[in-house]
Structure 1
Amino acid sequence: MTEAVLQLRNLTKRIGTRKIVDNLTFDVPPGEIFGFLGPNGAGKTTTIRMIVGLISISKGEALIKGISVSKHFELAMTHVGAIVENPEMYKFLTGYQNLVHYARRHSGVTKERINEVVNMLGLQNRIHEKVKRYSLGMRQRLGVAQAILHRPSLLILDEPTNGLDPAGIRELRDYLRKLTREEGISVIVSSHLLSEMELMCDRVAIIQSGKLIDIQSINEVRNSAQTKIVIEVEDAHAAYELLASAFDPSRLSLSGDRIELTADKSAVPTITKLLVSSDIDVMGIYAEQKSLEDQFLELTGGEMVV
């Protein structure tokens, strides 16, 4: 079995008597885009800061390529590229000059590698312009280029889509997919944009109050057998009573002339026959797959995401 690029083992952060992060344990395998979601104050940024050594670990450990961040920090960080908050760069220099300057911090980064990364991230047409002329999306891409120059095994991006327009978000998503495919890099993305995480990530970890609530595969979410069946009828109350006798009432909800039922979508023909045979006029019936946002809100009790 391929060794995980990142392993968290009972990772904990205490400030005073309060646990900000509480015994987080999970693995991130090679070539995966792993999302990190949580409500306000859940501890996701604190977790990222512990992984990259910006704050100390109170208990447990983070292993990168099997190397302990606490015990062998410098060696572990040779396998990591990260942007925490905003990418930092010299705006009076060109994009290329920034990359050359950053490359000097790592041994073995050649001009060929710099050009390879520039082309990979689609920066070649603007790379010799000063960074102060770059859009936010261009600066984000240059930041990712800086972070992967030394061929890290793990790329960590904290809120990388902040301030980006839809086109910029899509570009970043495409480049991250390209990185995992062509470079074999594992990517951890922290974001509050659930819809983007659903499009960008392979798996998503949900944390609340510093604890891991669940880890969900996006494919499993998309292919989930449990869907929301929406039923629009003329006599909603009669239809609701009828369906409550045939299905678990806790899976039913009624709002105006609209009834929602959480069930396998194969139940649609049964529902249709039941309503028609009872002379209830059906205006519409269709299945809506539960989004990541629906499942997130269920798991966190409706708390807002940050």
Structure 2
Amino acid sequence: MTEAVLELRNLTKRIGTRKIVDNLTFDIPAGEVFGFLGPNGAGKTTTIRMIVGLISMTKGEARIKGVSVKEQFELAMTHVGAIVENPEMYKFLTGYQNLVHFARRHSGVTKQRIDEVVNMLGLQNRIHEKVKRYSLGMRQRLGVAQAILHRPSLLILDEPTNGLDPAGIRELRDYLRKLTREEGISVIVSSHLLSEMELMCDRVAIIQAGKLVDIRSMQDAREQSQSKIVLEAGDPVAAQHLLAQLFDAAQLAVDGTRIEIAADKSAIPNIARVLVAADIEVLGIHAVQKTLEEQFLEITGGEMVV
């Protein structure tokens, strides 16, 4: 079994009588992109702040590479790279000068390592320009470069796609995948963009009111999400009557000329064959699968992620 890079055990944050984070327990293995999802006030950022020591824990434990954040904070943080909110850098310096300055905070970061990270994140063409000329996407990539200079085992990014255009989001997603593959880094991403989390993450933790509701593998979510077939027929009444012989009544829903069937897309050929054989005109037929957003809204009772 793969060793856990991050272990949370009953992690709790209480302010007054209110629990902001309530007994979170889960592990993150090496080389995984792990997402935090939750509605406004769910406790995502509070959890991240406790992991990196920006706020104290009321109860529980966080261990990074087996090192307790509470008991050996400085040693635990040597295994972490993080961008909480916006990456901090000196805009009057070049990207390279920023990396050199940041490297001085960690022992063992060589010029060769700086050049390696610059190339890995595709910054080589503009690394000697001043940061004030960088786009937001370029600054985000430089921030990630800073965070991984010392070869951390865990990279934490809080809302890293904020303000990025679609091309910038895709670039960031590709670079994170490259990091997990080439560096073996585990990545925690907090984001409100569900569609991007679906593409970016291996697993997601769904948090609501400070509690862990579910942890889902994205592959399992895609495979196990309930699909439906949407059919438009020239004679929907006749089509419904015929389909009632193939499916339970609970699987069928009719709205005008549109019929929804709770079934996998593999049933489409048989449905089309049966209807055509009965001389019922098929105007359209296709499969629809629930997105991560739809699954999330069901789990959280319709609360939107922000």
CA distance change for structure 1 residues 57 and 241 in 2, over 3 Å: closer, same or farther?
Answer: farther
Q: How does 1:1-306 map onto structure 2 within 5 Å?
A: 1-224=1-224, 226-236=226-236, 239-240=239-240, 243=243, 247-273=247-273, 275-276=275-276, 280-306=280-306
Distance in 1 between residues matched to 2:214 and 2:250, nearest whole Å: 22
CA contact (8 A) 2:10 2:25 kept: yes
| TM-score between the two structures when normalised by the length of structure 1 | 0.93
- CA drift of 1:172 comes to 0.8
Give the counterpart letter for 1:11 in structure 2. Answer: L
Deviation, 1:260, is: 2.3
CA 1:85–1:271: 2 relative to 1, 3 Å: same
Deviation at 1:132, TM superposition (A): 0.4
Deviation at 1:269, TM superposition (A): 3.9
CA separation of 1:77 and 1:246: change in aligned 2, threshold 3 A: same
How far is 1:86 from its partner?
Answer: 0.5
Would the alpha carbon gap of residues 302 and 273 (structure 1) be closer, same or farther in structure 2, given more than 3 Å must change? Answer: farther
What is the alpha-carbon distance in structure 2 between the residues aligned to residue 238 and residue 299 of structure 1? 36
Could you list the structure 1 runs, at least 4 aligned residues long, displaced by more than 6 angstroms after superposition: none
Write the distance in 1 (CA, Å) between the matches of 2:217 and 2:56: 30
Q: Is the 8 A contact 2:83 2:147 kept in 1?
A: yes
Q: Measured at CA, do residues 297 and 269 of structure 1 come closer, stay the same or move farther in structure 2, by a change above 3 Å?
A: same
C-alpha displacement at 1:223, in angstroms? 2.8
Note the C-alpha offset of 1:271: 3.5
**Are the equivalent residues in 1 in contact too, given 2:225–2:290 (CA < 8 A)?**
no
Question: TM-score, normalised on structure 2?
Answer: 0.93
Compute the displacement of 1:254 (Å): 3.6
Where in structure 1 are there 5+ consecutive unaligned residues? none
SS of 1:119's partner is helix
> Aligned AA for 1:224?
Q
Tell me by how many angstroms 1:233 deviates.
Answer: 1.8
Distance 1:51 1:250, change over 3 A: farther
Aligned partner letter, 1:150:
H
Measured in 2, the distance between the counterparts of 1:157 and 1:116 equals 21
Question: What is the aligned-residue RMSD (CA, Å)?
Answer: 2.0
1:215 Cα deviation from its structure 2 partner: 1.4
Secondary structure of the corresponding residue to residue 139 of structure 1: helix
| 1:111-164 CA distance string (max 9 Å, x none) | 111111111111111111111000000000000000000000000001111111
Q: Where in structure 2 are there 5+ consecutive unaligned residues?
A: none
CA 1:255/1:192 → structure 2, altered by over 3 Å: closer, same or farther? farther
Structure 2 counterpart of 1:70, which letter?
Answer: K
Cα distance in 2 for residues equivalent to 1:15 and 1:213: 21
C-alpha separation between the residues in 1 aligned to 2:27 and 2:285? 41
Contact 1:221 1:290 in 2 (8 A): no
Q: How far off its partner does 1:239 sit?
A: 4.1
Maintained 8 Å contact 1:225/1:264: no
**Which residue type is aligned with residue 200 of structure 1?**
M
Aligned residue pair count: 306
- Secondary structure of the 1:5 match is strand
Structure 2 vs 1, CA of residues 18 and 271 (structure 1 numbering), >3 Å: closer, same or farther?
farther
State which drifts further: 14-23 or 177-186.
14-23
